[in-house]
Amino acid sequence: MNCISPLRWSIGILAPCLLSHPLFAEDFFLDFDGPRLLTGARGSKVRGSFTCLLGNYQSGVAEGWAFGVVVDGGKIVSITLEGTAAEHARSFGFERTELTSGPGNEGAISKVVYSLTEPTSLGLYPPQVIAFLEVESDVSPGIHYATLRYHDGLRGSVELVENFVRSAGGRYVPTLTDRSIVISDEPPCGDLLLGFSGDNVDSPLPFEGVIGGVGTSGEVVFPTPQGEKGRVHLYADIVPLLPAGNDCSGGRIVEGWVLSVELTGEAEPAAVSVRGTSVDMYFWNGFERTLIAEAADNGGRKGPSRLGL
C-alpha cells in the first residue's frame, strides 16, 4: 500500500481487515532498513547508514547468497559485513564484498557461502542483517529523492553478480524491495497526507509505525500456509505536518475528513471499524460513518470508506 508521509505525528483512524492468497514456501526477500529522510545544508553532501536484510516468509534458511545494490540520486561509499550475520562466512565459509565502479556499474556487491567447514545455515526468521552500507548524496535546494535498490548485473573485481539465495541445494531468486530516501535542505513542512500502518499509531515521533515512512511506498508481509487464506489488520493513518504560525513546531489539529481506500489484487476487505483507534479515543459530539463499499455500486472497485467530522 502506498504511503507518502512527511509527518510530525500520525493517528490511526481506520482499521480494515484484508484477506489474501498464500505465499510460496520458498519465498526469500532482500530488503533495506535505514533513514527515510536525510537533511543537510544546501550545497553540502549528506550521508546515511543503511542495512541490507535477507529473510524468508516461511522461516527458511540460507546456505549462501549474492546481491548487488545501487543508489539512484546518490552514491554508495562503503559496504561491510562486520557486525552482521554474514560475518560468520569470514571464518567458516567464503565471502567477497566490495564497491563496484565504472559507467553503469556504480554500486556494491556481496557474495557469501555461509559455511564450508560445517553443515550449518543461516535462519532467516526474523530477517537477518547481511551488510551495512553508507550512502552519500548532494543536498540541492528543496526536496529530491534517492532510491536504494538491489540490481542484477553489477561487475565486481572477478565476475558479474546476480541476486540469488542458495537453500537446501536449490537456487532461488528473492523478492527485491527498494528504499526511497528524501534528501532535503530543510525538514518538510506544510503537508497533511495519508498513510498506512500495521499497528494502531498515535505518536509524536516522526514516521513511527507508518509503512514506508516519508515520500515512498512500503509493503506488509504476512506468512500464510500454502493453500489457505490469510488475514491481516491494517490501519489508515492521517499524517499531518501543518504549521502553527510560521513554523512546524506546534501543528494544527485535524477537524474532519472523508476517506476511501481502494483494494486491488487477489484480496478482499473482510471488515472495517474505527473501534480502538484514535477516532474512538478523541471522537466527541460529531458524526462518523464507516462501511465497506459495495463493489457493484462502485464500478467493481472494492474497499472501505469513512466519513468523519
6: in domain? no
Select the highest-mean-pLDDT range: 17-31, 57-71, 279-293: 57-71
Phi first, then psi: give them for residue 151, nearest 5 degrees: -145, 130
Residue 80, strand partner residues: 132
Task: Give the DSSP H or E segment for 280.
Answer: helix 278-282
Least confident of 110-119, 167-176, 246-255: 246-255
Which CATH number is 95's domain given?
Answer: 2.60.40.680
- Tell me: pLDDT of 307 over 50: no
Do both 46 and 176 map to the same domain? yes
Picking from 137, 204, 143, the residue whose alpha carbon sits closest to that of residue 4 is: 143
224/136 same-domain check? no
Measured in whole angstroms, how far is the alpha carbon of residue 221 from the centre of its chain?
10
Q: Shortest CA distance to 235 belongs to which of 201, 262, 205?
A: 201
Measure Cα distances from 309 to 170, 254, 258, 290 in Å: 56, 9, 9, 12
Looking at residue 308, its pLDDT comes to 46
Average pLDDT over residues 86-112: 96
Region at 174 (left for phi over 0; alpha for psi -120 to 50; beta for the rest): beta
| 105 and 60 share one domain | yes
162 close to 66: Cβ distance less than 8 angstroms: yes
Note whether 250 and 274 are same-domain residues.
Answer: yes
**DSSP at 60:** -
Q: Distance between CA atoms of 217 and 9, rounded to whole angstroms?
A: 18
Chosen domain end from 126, 161, 184: 184
Q: What is the pLDDT of residues 212-268, one digit of tens each?
A: 665 545 666 777 777 777 778 888 887 765 554 445 544 556 777 788 877 777 777
pLDDT tens for 257-302 read: 788 877 777 777 778 888 778 777 666 677 778 888 777 777 766 6
295 versus 40: which is more confidently predicted? 40
Say if residue 176 is in the same domain as residue 247: no
- Picking from 184, 209, 224, the residue at the C-terminal end of a domain is 184
Q: What is the mean pLDDT of residues 191-200?
A: 76
Position 186 pLDDT exceeds 80:
no
Please report the DSSP string for 196-249 in residue order.
EESS--EESSTTTTBTT-TTEE--------TTS-EEEE-EEEEEEE--BTTBSS
**Band of the pLDDT at 206, cuts 50, 70, 90?**
low
Q: Is the pLDDT of residue 196 over 70?
A: yes
140 and 230 both lie in a single domain? no
Domain range enclosing 278: 14-18+192-308
Say what the pLDDT of residue 272 is. 82
Asked, for residue 33, whether it belongs to a domain, the answer is no
Please state, for a pLDDT cut of 90, what percent of the chain lies above it: 39
- pLDDT tops 50 at residue 158: yes
Structural domain contains residue 230: yes
Find all residues with CB under 8 Å of 296, minimum gap 6, and list them.
Answer: none
Model confidence band, residue 130 (pLDDT cutoffs 50, 70, 90): very high
Of the candidate ranges 40-44, 92-96, 203-207, the one whose mean pLDDT is the lowest: 203-207
Domain for residue 5, yes or no? no
Same domain, 238 and 297: yes
Report d(CA 161, CA 152) in Å as an integer: 6
Are residues 62 and 174 both part of a single domain?
yes
| Residues near 216 by beta carbon (within 8 Å), at least 6 away in sequence | 3, 4, 36, 179, 180, 182
- State whether 232 and 108 are in the same domain: no
pLDDT value, residue 301: 66
Looking up cell 501543528 gives: 251
pLDDT at 225: 75
- Check whether residue 45 and residue 179 sit in a common domain: yes
CB 257 within 8 A of CB 267: no
The answer to the question of residue 23 being in a domain is: no
Same domain for 164 and 84, yes or no, is: yes
Dihedral (CA of 217, 223, 229, 235) sign: negative
Q: What is the mean pLDDT of the chain?
A: 79
For residue 59, the SS3 value is coil
d(CA 39, CA 220): 27
The two beta strands, 28-33 and 175-176, are parallel
Q: Are 224 and 102 found together in one domain?
A: no
Residue 280: inside a domain? yes
In a domain, 32, yes or no: no
∠ Cα 204 206 207 (to 5°):
120
Question: Is it the case that residue 131 has pLDDT exceeding 90?
Answer: yes
Helix, strand, coil content of the chain in percent (nearest 5): 5, 50, 45
